[in-house]
Amino acid sequence: MTIRKVISEIDKLIPLQQAEDFDNVGLLCGVPDRNVSGILISHDVLENVVDEAIERNCNLIVCFHPIIFSGLKSLTGKNYVERVVLKAIENKIAIYAIHTAFDNDFFGVNHGICSQLGLKDLKILQPKENNLKQLTVFVPKEYSQKVKEAMFSAGAGNIGFYDECSFTVNGNGTFRPVEGSNPFSGQQNIRENADEDMISVIFESYKQGQIVGAMKAAHPYEEVAHQLYTLDNKNHHSGLGMYGDLEEEMNEKDFLKFVKEKFNLEIIKHSSFTQKKIKRVGVLGGSGASGIRSAISKKCDAYLTGDLKYHDYFLADSKMLLCDIGHYESEQFVTQQLFEILSQKFSTFAISKSIEKTNPVNYFI
């Protein structure tokens, strides 16, 4: 199987279109048409990880953080980024980064954190906006099912944990073919009355091209009457962060001890105690200061993330316990999650988890 085919299959599981606009995800280096000998999954890609891939005969590294984030103007090995990319290219190893596409995935980074904490009734903390569209198309009744099936196959009608969702209304449509037309039914210059269904489906905006294309390919009309709308509805199954409830509430100190044990932490930085019980917990893996206000609005009692700055702690405002558990530490389950996802998908070649340390932060206790 080629690298191109492998990353195409990965994209079906974790679409790169879910990633944030600022991010640099996808195939960062490597020849797409080269056959895959093995996959190494890592959190970051450093020189020691590339060495590990060479030793394990893996020519595709699937990583969380992209090694190339901003533009490279040269490749001379003058810094760690250039050295990694050079070594990968010289050894014919491709690097594919997934980053915020997995952050925004319902079963991604933040779902892993919530699972570790045993949270229930999980919801997205910051649902994606301007992410949903609606397609309405008018179809001859006898072709209604065929067109619906084509749109479903292209990804339309997936709403949360439901798929093949649509709404159909029957009615009477009129049209008059004029000179130059080649009508599916009726005659030129004579008004035609047609028994038609109006079909509506909802989809994520990045699927628009494939869905409209599939719809038109299945539609019998020469000119297809259809309408596209951008919805104000938020996508409550995609976005940054998550929140849920503990099975049983606990006091703040017991909660911090619980988190420290579950994440194998040496230290937790936190805001002032609120003297409230902890029941609802918000999480956002990585740098999550942007989610503080959202967590407060969702009435979270505690919020777990990383990379909080001095002034971020004031935002808690005695309403919530802020917990900075570390950037890497909050994302530490990603490698195992990706290993499980890809192992189920690919069985024809070896998939390995990197054992190399890539966390650049160390603690002196």
Nearest to 285 by CA among 310, 262, 303: 303
Q: Is 99 annotated as a binding residue?
A: no
CB neighbour class for 164 (10 Å; exposed up to 12, middle 13-18, buried from 19): middle
Q: Which residues pair with 135 in a beta bridge?
A: 201, 228
Q: Is 311 annotated as a binding residue?
A: no
Q: How many helices (H) and strands (E) does the chain have?
A: 11, 15
In which residue are the tokens 């050894």 written?
91
Quote the CA–CA distance of 102 and 263 in Å, as a whole number. Answer: 20
Quote the CA–CA distance of 353 and 38 in Å, as a whole number. Answer: 11
In angstroms, the first-to-last Cα distance of the chain is 48
Identify whether the C-beta of residue 305 lies closer than 8 Å to the C-beta of residue 288.
yes
Quote the CA–CA distance of 208 and 202 in Å, as a whole number. Answer: 10
Quote the CA–CA distance of 355 and 333 in Å, as a whole number. Answer: 13
Contacts of 109 (CB under 8 A, 6+ apart): 102, 103, 285, 286, 331, 333, 334, 337
Identify whether the C-beta of residue 6 lies closer than 8 Å to the C-beta of residue 35.
no
Look at residue 13 and give its three-state secondary structure.
Answer: helix
Q: Which residues pair with 229 in a beta bridge?
A: 134
Q: Is 327 annotated as a binding residue?
A: yes
Identify whether the C-beta of residue 107 lies closer than 8 Å to the C-beta of residue 187.
no
Contacts of 292 (CB under 8 A, 6+ apart): 303, 312, 315, 316, 320, 322
Torsion of CA 24, 26, 30, 35, to 10 degrees: 170
Nearest to 99 by CA among 25, 190, 199: 25
Annotated binding site: 65, 103, 327, 331
Residues of each annotated binding site for a divalent metal cation: 65, 103, 327, 331
